[in-house]
Amino acid sequence: MYDDIDLELNFSDITISETDGNYKDVNEKMISEFPYSKEWMIKTNLTVESKYGVAYIELHFYNNKDIYVVDFKPSIGNVFYNPDIIGLSQWSQENGWNIPKPNKELTIKDREFWKYFYDTLIIDSDYFDKHYGERPQLKGKNEKK
Query: Which pLDDT score, from 0 to 100, does residue 11 have?
Result: 97
Q: Which helix (H) or strand (E) holds 10?
A: strand 8-11
pLDDT beyond 80 at 135: no
Q: pLDDT grade, residue 1 (50/70/90)?
A: very low
Q: Which domain holds residue 40?
A: 8-133
What is the chain's alpha carbon radius of gyration, rounded to the nearest angstrom? Answer: 16
Does residue 25 carry a pLDDT above 50?
yes
The answer to whether position 2 is within a domain reads no
- Predicted model pTM: 0.88
Number of domains comprising the chain: 1
Structural domain includes residue 145: no
Residue 138 lies in a domain: no
DSSP string, 126-139: HHHHHHH-S-GGGT
Residue 140 lies in a domain: no
Q: Is residue 33 part of a domain?
A: yes
Residue 139 belongs to some domain of the structure: no
Percent over 90 (pLDDT), the chain: 76
Q: How far, in Å, are 23, 88, 113, 128 from residue 76 at the CA level?
A: 28, 15, 12, 23
Nearest to 10 by CA among 59, 52, 65: 59
In a domain, 52, yes or no: yes
Mean pLDDT of 106-122: 94
CB within 8 Å of 107: residues ≥ 6 apart: 114, 125, 127, 128
Phi-psi group of 140: left, alpha or beta (phi > 0 → left; psi -120 to 50 → alpha; rest → beta): left
43 lies in some domain: yes
How far is the CA of 77 from the CAs of 9, 52, 57, 85, 125, in angstroms? 19, 10, 14, 11, 20
List all residues 6 or more positions away from 53 whose beta carbon is below 8 Å from its beta carbon. Answer: 75, 76
